[in-house]
């Protein structure tokens, strides 16, 4: 994802409105490795910008996705998540707390056998590793 300043220029250059709320959303996503939900982004910014609406957050995330600046992903955690890392990568997902981490892994050997594709053309491969994160593992070992 581009920097907040570059996103401001991009939005203006494509005829989109640039408001203080949108600029704050850009900053909330900048280097955000948590893969936030729309509600999470809203919760992060409403504290210091009470005039922002959840609708504005959803609309801005949709436009950033449309522009290819973020990826909207569904990893089975109950809500769509937004990933500012648009480079090819995969994810580690904690089945207990829902935490998500990026992981770079070589998946070039992952193939769907041609006899099972039924005319389907594979254009992209995404691998999701599921398990339990360090924090959840330590909680279970201490009996919490």
Res 103 pLDDT > 70? yes
Worst-scoring range by mean pLDDT, 23-27, 75-79, 112-116?
75-79
Q: Are residues 64 and 91 in the same domain?
A: no
Q: Between 59 and 140, name the one with better pLDDT.
A: 59
Q: Is 133 annotated as a binding residue?
A: yes
Residue 143 binned pLDDT confidence (cut-offs 50, 70, 90): low
Q: Are residues 69 and 98 in the same domain?
A: no
Nearest to 126 by CA among 143, 144, 110: 110
pLDDT for 22-50, tens place per residue?
Answer: 999 999 999 999 999 999 999 999 999 99
Q: Is 87 annotated as a binding residue?
A: no
Q: Is 94 annotated as a binding residue?
A: yes
The answer, as to whether pTM is greater than 0.75, is yes
Q: Is 126 annotated as a binding residue?
A: no
Pairing state between β 90-94 and 128-131: parallel
Q: Name, in order, each residue with C-beta under 8 angstroms of 39's C-beta and a sequence gap of 6 or more.
A: 54, 79
Mean pLDDT for 54-74 is 97
**Alpha-carbon gap, residue 103 to 140, rounded angstroms:** 24
Q: Between 37 and 106, name the one with better pLDDT.
A: 37
**Alpha-carbon gap, residue 13 to 31, rounded angstroms:** 23
Range of the domain at 16: 4-73
Kindly write down the DSSP assignment for every residue of 49-103, as one continuous string: -TT--HHHHHHHHHHHHHTTSSEEE--SSSS-EEES--SS-EEEEETTT--EEEE
Q: Between 108 and 13, name the one with better pLDDT.
A: 13
The answer to whether residue 80 is domain-embedded is no
CATH code, domain with 29: 1.10.10.10
Q: Are residues 69 and 9 in the same domain?
A: yes
Number of domains in the chain: 2
Q: Is 109 annotated as a binding residue?
A: yes
**pLDDT confidence of residue 108:** 74
Mean pLDDT for 10-17 is 97
């Amino acid at each position: 994802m581009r920097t907040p300043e570059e996103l401001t220029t991009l939005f203006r250059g494509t005829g989109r409105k640039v408001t203080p709320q949108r600029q704050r959303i850009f900053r909330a996503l900048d280097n955000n490795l948590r893969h936030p939900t729309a509600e999470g982004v809203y919760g992060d910014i409403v504290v210091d910008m009470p005039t922002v609406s959840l609708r504005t957050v959803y609309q801005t995330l949709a436009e950033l996705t449309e522009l290819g600046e973020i990826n909207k992903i569904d990893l089975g955690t109950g809500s769509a998540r937004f990933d500012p890392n648009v480079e090819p990568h995969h994810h580690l997902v904690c089945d207990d707390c829902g935490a998500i981490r990026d992981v770079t892994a070589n998946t070039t050997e992952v193939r769907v056998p041609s006899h099972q594709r039924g005319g389907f053309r594979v254009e992209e491969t995404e691998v999701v590793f599921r398990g339990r994160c360090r924090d959840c593992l330590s909680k279970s070992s201490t009996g919490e």
